[in-house]
Amino acid sequence: QLSQRLRGINGGGSDGWDVFLKARKMIAAGEDVTELTIGEHDIGTAAPVLREMYDTALAGNTGYAAVPGIEALREAVAARVSARTGVPTTSANVLITPGGQSALYSAHIAALDAGDTGLIIDPFYATYPYTVRAAGATPVSIGARAADAFQPRAEAIAARAPGAKSLLINSPNNPTGVVYSRTTLEGIAQVCTDHDLWLISDEVYDTQVWEGAHISPRSLPGMAERTLVVGSLSKSHAMTGSRCGWLVGPEEAITDLISLATNITYGVPGFIQLAGLFALRQGEAFEAEISEPFRRRRQLAHDVLAGQNAVAMVPAQGAMYLMLDVRATGLSGEGFANDLLDTHRIAVMPGESFGEAASGHIRVAMTVADDVFVTALRRLCAHAETLA
């Protein structure tokens, strides 16, 4: 008999990937499908970063790397976090992980005991409930409302906070593209302080902000000691396949999580870490260049959506997605996504894949060339108009 913890991870429910899997099957069968499902750049990792990886490996850096991460990379991440938050951060506050996903798991292991409750905000990045359950705990979701532009309300979180141990937030947000305002974050910080919650802040899209500013809750008064920040090079540096991310938090948590890493990952390959360090050292202009296509496509989407009424766009302030409200078509997000795939060979994610709060919406990843993106959006709108 497999353990309850393992069997419980997927919670027995559907995981909302049906449209995605159907699209993959169609592509495998040779059909021409426009893929707007997954959050992965249409460019690969930059050639100089790959060259660094190759040269480093060729020079012999192919053995075990330090489990907490190579000191120079930990220091670079610490310097980045110090500069962005104003909170003095050292390498002792940083654990290098195989991507943000692993950092999310580590954070929940640090915050939760088996049987505890971990709060998440709906709509959520599709893996969140699984990550909480993988830590042996129960996810409880709190709906952010379309009427509030998907900014979570502190009172709604406070209502579920008694008895919970952690709260997971994500800004800039996948799937909504919303960037949490200072007011939202200050309200969240207050709830975490009042109810003694760990705040797990997933900031993997922190370089992709089109409106407003990204604020890390680690920067808010008194929050550094109860905040675990998840970061990654996947989105900011187009390095999804390299699996290089980090967790930043109080030294005590990081020290104990190194013991966990010793027993699970035994570190991230040295040549990947050194390529990651090289990528980080390229600076903000390099990061801006990687994110520029999403900024541009978001503007293109505004232009396409203007002048039609069947599809409404949730104001996307960051990240690489658009959340579109298709309720005027009378279909659920899932119904619309299936219909769009069958009729126009365009694959998008149903809002329902990300919880209940985004039902009647679809998420469109802005991850294809501009002309393909605009054509797909035009067809999507025309399709919605035939239904509305």
- List, as one string, the DSSP characters of 161-175: -TT--EEEEESS-TT
Q: How far apart are the C-alpha atoms of 147 and 142, rounded to whole Å?
A: 15
> Where are any strands of DSSP class E within 314-365?
321-325, 346-347, 349-350, 361-365
353 contributes a contact to ligand PLP by CB under 6 A: no
170 contributes a contact to ligand PLP by CB under 6 A: yes
Which of 123, 221, 111 lies closest to 166 in space, CA to CA? 111
Q: How far is the CB of 34 from ligand PLP (least distance, A)?
A: 19
175: preceding bond cis by omega (within 30 degrees): yes
Total residues interacting with ligand PLP, rule: CB under 6 A: 13
What count of residues does the chain have? 388
Which of 7, 265, 2 lies closest to 136 in space, CA to CA? 7
Residues 28-57 that bind ligand PLP (CB under 6 A): 39
Residues 117-136 that bind ligand PLP (CB under 6 A): 125
294 contributes a contact to ligand PLP by CB under 6 A: no
The one segment of 94-102, 192-200, 267-275, 346-354 that binds ligand PLP by CB under 6 A:
94-102
Q: How far apart are the C-alpha atoms of 295 and 303, rounded to whole Å?
A: 13
H/E run at residue 298: helix 284-305
Q: How far apart are the C-alpha atoms of 167 and 177, rounded to whole Å?
A: 19
Q: How far is the CB of 133 from ligand PLP (least distance, A)?
A: 16
Amino acid at 374: V
Which residues, other chains included, contact 301 with Cβ-Cβ below 8 Å and sequence gap of 6+? Answer: 313, 322, 364, 366, 373, 377
Which residues, other chains included, contact 229 with Cβ-Cβ below 8 Å and sequence gap of 6+? Answer: 81, 201, 203, 216, 218, 247, 248, 249
> Exactly one of 34, 89, 106, 240 binds ligand PLP (CB under 6 A); which one?
240
- Would you say 244 or 384 has its CB closer to ligand PLP? 244
Q: How far is the CB of 107 from ligand PLP (least distance, A)?
A: 11
Q: How far apart are the C-alpha atoms of 41 and 48, rounded to whole Å?
A: 17
Q: How far is the CB of 252 from ligand PLP (least distance, A)?
A: 24
Q: How far is the CB of 205 from ligand PLP (least distance, A)?
A: 7
101 contributes a contact to ligand PLP by CB under 6 A: yes
The one segment of 96-104, 188-196, 331-339, 374-382 that binds ligand PLP by CB under 6 A:
96-104
Q: How far is the CB of 9 from ligand PLP (least distance, A)?
A: 16
Q: How far is the CB of 290 from ligand PLP (least distance, A)?
A: 14
> Exactly one of 171, 234, 236, 332 binds ligand PLP (CB under 6 A); which one?
234
202 contributes a contact to ligand PLP by CB under 6 A: yes
> Exactly one of 166, 232, 273, 332 binds ligand PLP (CB under 6 A); which one?
232
- Would you say 20 or 125 has its CB closer to ligand PLP? 125
> Exactly one of 34, 117, 131, 174 binds ligand PLP (CB under 6 A); which one?
174
Given the rule CB under 6 A, which residues bind ligand PLP? 39, 99-101, 125, 170, 174, 202, 204, 232, 234, 240, 245
